[in-house]
Each structure stands twice: as C-alpha cells, then as structure tokens.
Copies of this chain bind each other. A is one copy, B any other.
Amino acid sequence: MALLVMKFGGTSVADLDRIRNVAMHVKREVDAGNRCAVVVSAMAGQTNQLVEWTRGASSIHDAREYDAVLASGEQVTSGLLAITLQSLGITARSWLGWQIPIRTNNDHGIARIEAIEAGNLRERINDGEVAVIAGFQGIGPNGRITTLGRGGSDTSAVAIAAALGADCCDIYTDVDGVYTTDPRIVPKSQRIDKIAYEEMLEMASLGAKVLQTRSVEMAMVHRVSVRVRSSFDDPDSCPAVGSAGSAIVPGTLVCDEDDILEQRVVSGIAYAKDEAKITLLGVADKPGVAAKVFGPLADSNVNVDMIVQNVSADGTSTDMTFTVPAGDFERSRRVLESARDKIGYTDLRGALDIVKVSIIGVGMRSHAGVAAQMFSALADKGINIEAISTSEIKISVLIDAAYAELAVRTLHSLYGLDAE
C-alpha cells in the first residue's frame, strides 16, 4: 500500500468525460489499496476565461481580487471530481486551499507556499477517503485567497506530497513522460525512465514544458519522487502503483541522482526557440560598460540569458552579444536605444531567428571532453556557434534557427540517445 499524490492538469479535466477518465485512474489506485490525494487544475479554457474577465473589468487589477476570481476554476473541478468519484463508490471530498489550509506568503498571483497544515487532511486520507484538492491556490496571511501563478498546480501537488510524506507524486499530463528530446524533431527520441532533479530543472527551464520549474525545485528540496505520466493512457490497462513495483508503471520518474543506477553522460537535448539576440557594436572596452548595458534591462525586468563579449582588436571598442526572451525583444531594444548616449555604442542589431540548443546530464560532472565533442560535431555539420554558456550539468549553444533540427538530431545521435 502506498500513499500517492496524483495531479491532473487542465486538459486532463477539460470536460465531464475527461473528469470521468481521471476518476478511473484514481479508482485503479484505490482498488489496489493505495491511499490517494488528487490535485486538480481548472478545466482547460476556464482559467483563460476568468483572466479575460478580470482584464476586461480593469486593465489594472487588484491581485487579491484576481486571485479570488481565478481560484474559482479549481474549486469547480475539485467538486466535480469528488462527485464523480462518489458515483463510482469511492469515498471522496474536495478541499480548497483555505480549508486544508495551504498557507502562502502575501505575493498574490505568484504566491509561495510557506506551510501546509495537513493534520486533518492526513487523518481523512488514512481513514480511506480520497482527498480531491484544488490546485494552484492557498490562503495568505490576511485570510485572502492566493494563487501560485501559472502551472502552480504542479507545485501544489509536490508541496502536498512533501507535507503528507507521500511515496510518490504522479503528475498526469498530456504526454507520457519526459523524452530525450522533442519527438517531433527526432523520431528516435526515447522516453527517459529516470531523470535526476537537476537534469529535469535544466530540461524544464530550457523549454521542455512538462513540469513547472518551481515544482521540480520543491521536489528536489523535499526529496519527493515525481513521476510524469499520461492521463490519456487507458486507466484500466495501467498497472497500479505499489506491490508489483513502480518500475512497471509507465512514465518518467524524477528523482535523486543517487537513485539512478545507470547514469548516461548526457540525458537529454533541449532547445528553446523563444529567444532573441541583441548585439551592440562599438561598445567602449572599459570597466563599467556591462553595468550600463544590463542595469537598465534589469530595471525593466528583462531576464538576460547568454552574454558574449569579444576581446577588442584595438583595445578601445568591442562588440557585445546577449540573448533575451523573444517576448521582451522590442522592450529591450527601446530600453537600450533610450540609454544609447549613456552606454555609448555605434549600432544595435537584433535577431529573432536564433535558437538555443542544450545538452543536459549530471554525468558530465565526471566526464571530460563532453563540450569539445559537442562543438566539433556541430562544426562537422557546418553549424556556426554564436554564443556558449555552460553550467556543471549543461552546455548551451546559440545557433542560427535554420539549423535547429539538424543540431538537435546530430547531438541526439552523438550522445547515444537514439532508440534502436
């Protein structure tokens, strides 16, 4: 018998049929003797409708009211799923954030969970009742409803799993796991059975939009095993979690790297298309220039990613290249143009036709030459690297968008990730 947290996102509860399907997944686990807490998002489309209404009511809206309006979406699905479970003969009740309570800080719209007082919840679950919990929401210090930001239901699920000491947190989504890379680009990509938290963090923040970054961070801190699996699998043909061993449960387990016996050097290839490149030409090559460039961007909440500065040929001026999110491109350009006199540059060039390709793997730590291998493989294909950034378990390169697929396929083969 295991204590499970099961989380279902918006597409998994999009209508009554999908909610019934979710109930069947829960029933399978209950029938196998597992204890379950189920975390649900709002029905797909509902949150957008509610956001549209709040924006329509006023362009500047009180974040506390925004949260009260938005949290209603999960309230609806938690009640509907509880009703559906009951109709299958399963004891179940819905829990709203304030009822548990899930205590958060006061940052409405992007609140952080501070504590979950799970005593009452745990007691009911131990008595065999399925807890259906409205995700994405909590209660702030002033007794107002808070929300955790987009994708916050993943975070709710992991936090609840940590608070309950659950054996696993199963995140049901519309894909059946985390892949070595995007299967649309590389048909030979494979589902990863186990991935380390650190790797998943890099995958998530680099564009593999399977799990919310914050939820992975939280899982890592609290050592919660998270499994990414599909709600579109037939509920009845999936094996239940538990005695038969979790190895046969389909999906990707995100866990501690020590729990992964056979660690590859590179676990996955990620790419991110929503980046933009900005180059400032003729910047003075002297101390303080970088601060003059990136200060105004930071003040405008633009998150600068990769930065490359060439050594100047003449010792007086140089070129500086960096990337920003594509959505912030125009704003960045305006900020830099209005600061032109202060910074001092001869020209500004921007490009949106670039892509960031990354290789990720905790195995890199103990393997030398991984980067050199990558650069030479790309060079062999005639792909020019415009910028490089590295961390302990990741190497990212910025290249022309036209070469994105070629680069991803090349690297996928290079590190032995292609399926047989």
Contact = CB atoms under 8 A, between A and B. Distances in A.
Contacts of A79: 54, 65-66, 68-69
Contacts of A87: 57-61
B57 A76 contact: no
26 contacts: A16-B53, A16-B57, A19-B57, A50-B76, A53-B76, A54-B83, A57-B80, A57-B81, A57-B83, A57-B84, A58-B86, A58-B87, A59-B87, A60-B87, A61-B83, A61-B86, A65-B79, A65-B86, A65-B93, A66-B83, A68-B94, A72-B72, A72-B75, A72-B76, A75-B75, A98-B98
Contacts of A66: 79, 83
Interface in A71-97: 71-73, 75-76, 78-84, 86-87, 93-94, 96
A76 B81 CA distance: 20
Main secondary structure on A side of the interface with B: helix
A98 B94 CA distance: 16
A64 interface: yes
A96 B71 CA distance: 12
Contacts of A94: 65, 68
A68 B74 CA distance: 10
A126 interface: no
A413 interface: no
A305 interface: no
Contacts of A73: 72
A301 interface: no
A17 to B, nearest CB: 9
A96 B83 CA distance: 23
Contacts of A93: 62, 64-65
Top 10 A-B residue pairs of the complex, sorted by shortest distance between their CB atoms: A58-B87, A69-B79, A72-B72, A68-B79, A57-B83, A65-B79, A72-B75, A16-B56, A65-B82, A61-B83
A228 to B, nearest CB: 27
A301 B71 CA distance: 38
A143 interface: yes
Contacts of A50: 76
A99 interface: yes
A60 B83 CA distance: 8
A83 B98 contact: no
Contact of A62 (B19, B75, B82, B98): B82
Contacts of A99: 143-144
Nearest to A54: B83
A393 B367 CA distance: 95
A141 to B, nearest CB: 14
Contacts of A143: 99
Interface in A230-272: none
Contacts of A71: 75
Nearest to A64: B93
B65 A53 contact: no
Nearest to A49: B76
Q: Which of A16, A59, A80 lies at the interface centre, i.e. has the most chain B CB atoms within 10 A of its CB?
A: A80
Nearest to A144: B99
A7 B94 CA distance: 30
A31 to B, nearest CB: 19
Contacts of A75: 68-69, 71-72, 75
Contact of A80 (B16, B53, B78, B81): B53
A80 B98 contact: no
A194 B161 CA distance: 60
A321 B50 CA distance: 53
Interface string A35-58: 000000000000000100110111
Given A75-B75, A98-B98, A69 B58 contact: no
Contacts of A68: 75, 78-79, 94, 96
Interface string A114-149: 000000000000000000000000000001110000
A66 B93 CA distance: 11
Contacts of A83: 54, 57-58, 61-62, 65-66, 69
